[in-house]
Amino acid sequence: MRSKLEWRQAKVVEIETPAPDIRLVTFAVEALTSGFDPGSHTNIKVVINGAPAIRTYTVIPSRPGTLAIAVKLHPNSRGGSAYVWTLKIGDATEVTEPENRFELSWRASQYLLIAGGVGVTPIYGMAKALAARGQPVRMIYGAKNVASMAFAPELKGLLGERLATYSQDDGESFDLAAEFATLPEDGEVYICGPLGLLEAAKTAWRAAGRPASRLRYEVFGDNGRFAEQPFEVDVAGFGTTVSVRADQTMLEALMEAGVPMIFDCRRGECGLCAVKIVSCSSELDHRDVFFSQEERRDDPRICACVSRARGGRLVIDNGYVTEAILPATSAATLQAG
Ligand code: FES
């Protein structure tokens, strides 16, 4: 868990467009202490509607002293991608030293990488690292169409016939169960893509009787069932109604309002920001990969960093958060206001 973000000055030195709606931005970063492993992320300070905010992106392999991020201009963006798309050469911001929660284990005898759309960003680095070490690896890359497959030429050069691409517009699809069946017992899968793909993979993996620890995944934060809408949050015992704008997360809005929150990944993966749901006047849009469907049903909680309500009013109880942080401050980040 993160104890403190280490911010570094960063200046845009290169902008490329590996796919029509994906921008690859490279920053020269001051005092970057080390390289990074595939799957690592960096935080970047952005400005949304004139207000400062932080967004987290996967880092793409780049030359020493630089960090590169590939960001899709999302129609439902909460503002982070729109900000990155405004950056020009020479613009300055701050980024953090990369950290990794989506690590390759290097223990498998065979790897299957699966990327859905812009989920290719961590998978690309993994493919590069595995190919460089001569590891047995196959990659599946699905996207809307061939033109939208960022880094496909590079991946083809690396993997050759071991790369299989699937274009949704051409009616192509892949069979997860059949792919998993080709893996040896200690084979591992690394997957990044939309929530639906992850859920399907988890289901197929379980059905195949495979160990959960050998399916590793992450999801990109702003892909929910519904477009972002503003909603209100009442925090039990807090006495204030907090408004969550469409372009901010519930976690950001709660912290701005001074509600004590603990969090770490900001990507719906660690579960630290989860709060209890008391009631919701609209539908919930769960965007985390931390809770299973059963857990959501039996003990309704919501990850404030990515999940939200589809408008209306949500009543939450974060009382246990305060209790949890009183005895000792864990390494997790604690912020209020
Ligand atoms: S901070 Fe990790 S799930 Fe929200």
288-330 pLDDT per residue, tens: 888 877 888 888 999 999 999 999 999 998 775 554 444 433 3
Q: How far apart are CA 153 and CA 69, in angstroms?
A: 18
Residue 216 Cα distances to 10, 189, 193, 294, angstroms = 31, 6, 12, 20
**Which DSSP string do the residues of 151-204 spell out, in sequence order?**
THHHHHHHHGGGEEEEETTTT----HHHHHHTS-TT-EEEEEE-HHHHHHHHHH
Q: Which atom of ligand 1 is nearest to the CA of 269?
A: 3
- Tell how far the Cα of 64 is from the centroid of ligand 1, in angstroms: 30
What mean pLDDT do residues 166-172 have? Answer: 96
Residues in Cβ contact with 290 at an 8 Å cutoff, skipping those fewer than 6 apart:
268, 269, 270, 271, 274, 303
Where do the domains of the chain lie, and which CATH numbers do they carry?
7-100 (2.40.30.10), 111-219 (3.40.50.80), 231-335 (3.10.20.30)
Check: pTM over 0.85? Answer yes or no: no
Please tell me the least confidently modeled range out of 46-60, 118-132, 292-306, 315-329: 315-329
- Tell how far the Cα of 330 is from the centroid of ligand 1, in angstroms: 15
Mean pLDDT of the chain: 88
Helix (H, G, I), strand (E, B), or coil: what is residue 148?
helix
What mean pLDDT do residues 248-277 have? Answer: 89
- Tell how far the Cα of 204 is from the centroid of ligand 1, in angstroms: 25
Strands 241-244, 231-235: pairing kind = antiparallel
Indicate the burial class of 319 (C-beta count within 10 angstroms; 0-12, 13-18, 19 or more). middle
Phi and psi of 17, rounded to 5°?
A: -125, 85
What mean pLDDT do residues 130-155 have? Answer: 96
- What tokens does 45 get? 């300070």
- Tell how far the Cα of 308 is from the centroid of ligand 1, in angstroms: 13
Which residues' Cβ are closer than 6 Å to ligand 1? 263-266, 268-273, 288, 290, 303, 305
Q: Residue 2 pLDDT more than 60?
A: no
Q: How far apart are CA 117 and CA 243, in angstroms?
A: 32
**CA-wise closest residue to 273 among 320, 229, 315:** 320
For residue 3, name the pLDDT band (cuts at 50, 70, 90): very low
Residue of 264, 318, 335 with the most ligand 1 atoms within 8 Å of its CB, for mutation: 264
What mean pLDDT do residues 109-138 have? Answer: 96
Residues in Cβ contact with 262 at an 8 Å cutoff, skipping those fewer than 6 apart:
272, 273, 321, 324, 325, 330, 332, 333, 334
The pLDDT of residue 5: 74
Q: Which atom of ligand 1 is nearest to the CA of 264?
A: 1
Q: Which atom of ligand 1 is nearest to the CA of 265?
A: 2
- Tell how far the Cα of 72 is from the centroid of ligand 1, in angstroms: 21
Residue of 102, 273, 325 with the most ligand 1 atoms within 8 Å of its CB, for mutation: 273
Contact of 119 with 84, CB cutoff 8 Å: no
Q: Residue 102 pLDDT more than 70?
A: yes
Residue of 217, 303, 325, 335 with the most ligand 1 atoms within 8 Å of its CB, for mutation: 303
**CA-wise closest residue to 45 among 100, 92, 98:** 92
> Tokens 């701005």 appear where?
256
